[in-house]
Structure 1
Amino acid sequence: MGYLYIAGTIFFTVYGQLILKWRIGKYGSLPVDFADKLLFLFKLLFDPLIFSGFVSAFVASLFWMAAMTKFELSFAYPFMSISFVLVFLFSALILREPMTWAKGIGLALIVAGVIVTSRSM
C-alpha cells in the first residue's frame, strides 16, 4: 500500500504542474504594473482548472503524508524524481514544449541517481 501512496503523490504532483502551465499559458504574460499583476493573479486563482491544480497539490501532500507512515524519507524521496521525468515527457507531448539533448541527458542523470540511491538502501 505504501507504494500506492508514493504513486498517488507523483500522479497529483504531475497533474498539478501540467494543468497550471497549460491554463496559465492561456492567460498570457504577467503584466508589468503592480496593480495589474494583482488583478491578473486574482483572475488566475479563480480559474476552475487552475484551482484544481492547487487542490491537486494538497491531495499530493495527503498522499505524501500517508507514504511517510510507511517508508523512511531517505528511501521514499528519490521516487519523487519520477515526477521530473513525467512532467518533462508530458510537457513535450501535451504542451509541445521542446525536447533537447541537454534536457534528455539531465533526465538520464536524474534516473541514474535514483537507481544508485535506491540500491544503496
Structure 2
Amino acid sequence: MGFAYIFATIIFTVYGQLILKWKIDKYGSLPEEWMDKMAFIFRLLLDPLILSGFLSAFVASLFWMAAMTKFNISFAYPFMSLSFVLVFLLSVFLFGEPVTSQKVIGLSLIVLGIIVTSQST
C-alpha cells in the first residue's frame, strides 16, 4: 500500500502543476504594474480549476504523509522525481513544449537515479 501512497502523491502533484500551467497560460502574461499584478493574481485565485490545483497539492501532501508512515524518506523521496518526468512528457503532448537532447538526457539520469536509490535498503 505504501507505493500507492507515493503514486497518488505524484499524480496529484503532476495534476496540480499541469492545471496551473494550462489555466495561467489562458490568462496571459503577468502585468508590469504592481496593482495590475495583484488584480491578475486575484483573478487567478478565483478560477475554480486553479483552486483545484491548490487542492491537489494539499491532497498530495496528505498522501505523502501516509507514505512517510511506510518508508524512510531517503527511500521514498527519490520517487518524487518521477513527477518531473511525467510533467515533462505531458507538457510535450498537452502544451507542445519542445523535446531537446539535454532534457532527455536529464530525465534519463533522473530515472537512473531512482533505479539506483530504490535498490539500496
Range of TM-score over shorter length: over 0.9
Structure 2 gaps, min length 5: none
User: What whole-Å deviation, never above 9, does each CA across 1:90-111 have from its counterpart, x for those lacking one?
Assistant: 0001111111111111100111
Shift of 1:120: 2.4
**Identical residues among aligned pairs (%):** 70
Structure 1 stretches of 4+ moved >4 Å: none
Return the alpha-carbon distance in structure 1 between the equivalents of residues 66 and 95 of structure 2: 31
Q: How many residues align?
A: 121
Helix, strand or coil at the partner of 2:29: coil
Matched, 1:74 2:87: no
Please report the RMSD computed on the Cα atoms of aligned residues, expressed in angstroms.
Answer: 0.7
Matched, 1:43 2:43: yes
Residue 89 (structure 1) aligns with: 89
Return the alpha-carbon distance in structure 1 between the equivalents of residues 116 and 4 of structure 2: 22
Helix, strand or coil at the partner of 1:99: coil
Return the alpha-carbon distance in structure 2 between the equivalents of residues 25 and 60 of structure 1: 23
Residue 10 (structure 2) aligns with: 10
Return the alpha-carbon distance in structure 2 between the equivalents of residues 64 and 48 of structure 1: 24
Return the alpha-carbon distance in structure 1 between the equivalents of residues 67 and 114 of structure 2: 18
Return the alpha-carbon distance in structure 2 between the equivalents of residues 96 and 41 of structure 1: 25
User: What whole-Å deviation, never above 9, does each CA across 1:54-92 have from its counterpart, x for those lacking one?
Assistant: 000000000000000111000100110111100000000
